[in-house]
Structure 1
Amino acid sequence: MNKALLIIDYTNDFVANNGTLTCGKPGQAIDHAITHLAEEFLTNQDYIVFPTDLHVKNDPFHPETKLFPPHNLAHTWGRELYGDVGSWFSAHKNSNHVYFYDKNRYSAFVNTNLENFLRTHFVEELYLAGVCTDICVLHTAIDAYNKNFDITIPKNAVASFNQIGHEWALNHFKNSLGATIIEN
């Protein structure tokens, strides 16, 4: 059974101190853990997938326009991958086991070919990392569950700007989606 690590929305806008929708220090604190996981997955010839938010400024047709300021806009610093994760991606982006793609909804499955990619590569187990635990990671996990993927959440590789939402999502992953939560 193949595995894939989904590194969700780990961009400057969501993690850096001056990012538009930053989760700040909690997001920055998981940089090393995500990089370590990516290296482990690559060493094992598993897949590392970067579903990354992409928006158009003031898009009148996108529901997030009403909820959040413009973020993760194409060709901006804010959309670049953050920190060591960004450096890791730059060094390995040409690998056949590393896949970067745009998403425009909370879930990495909606309006994308993620499921097709995973099925054609015989991936059955997903590890979810990135931000925000209670938004994009949560919605991706729910879709993964509904599509019958096994889900693992490394607790030290997810973060949110809302600690209560973060803890709630971790409990939801375990108790409602049957996910395995790895403590370290």
Structure 2
Amino acid sequence: MLTLPVMVTNGNVTSNGNVTSNGDVTSNGNVTSNGNVTSNGNVTSNGNVTSNGNVTSNGNVTSNGNVTSNGNVTSNGNVTSNGNVTSNGNVTSNGNVTSNGNVTSNGNVTSNGNVTSNGNITSNGNITSNGNITSNGSYFIKKQRGGFDAVTISAPEPADIKQNKEE
């Protein structure tokens, strides 16, 4: 017997673009797409998923907070937000994008590992990691040169991150 995915909504699903799920689309909040929301897993919103760009997940897109994309949020793992994931640039993860705090990008956040925020990650420039990007505190990154194997953020005060061998 063929079982098709279901759409369950107590909130609103509004699409001028496409909402595509090979799993289930469940909304207690709002799923709004002027771009595309694509999930090979499940799209679950208790908060809001808003896309003017694209939200693409080969895992699950789960929002208890807000996922807002004017750029692109792309995850080959899972996009999970208990806080906020806000992208005016691009958030790209070959691992998982997980936010219990806030991930805010006006530039690009790119990780070949995982992007995990228990505090805040704010980028007006670019954050590039070949490892994992982890924030347990709050950190404001104005500019980064070069790439890091891993960026672990725990300092509460604003500061620049620069690769040691570059100036």
TM-score normalised over the length of structure 2: 0.21
Query: As a proportion of its length, which structure holds more strand?
Result: 2
Q: More relative contact order in 1 or in 2 (CA 8 Å, sep 6+)?
A: 1
User: What is the TM-score of this pair, normalised by structure 1?
Assistant: 0.20
Structure number, greater radius of gyration = 2
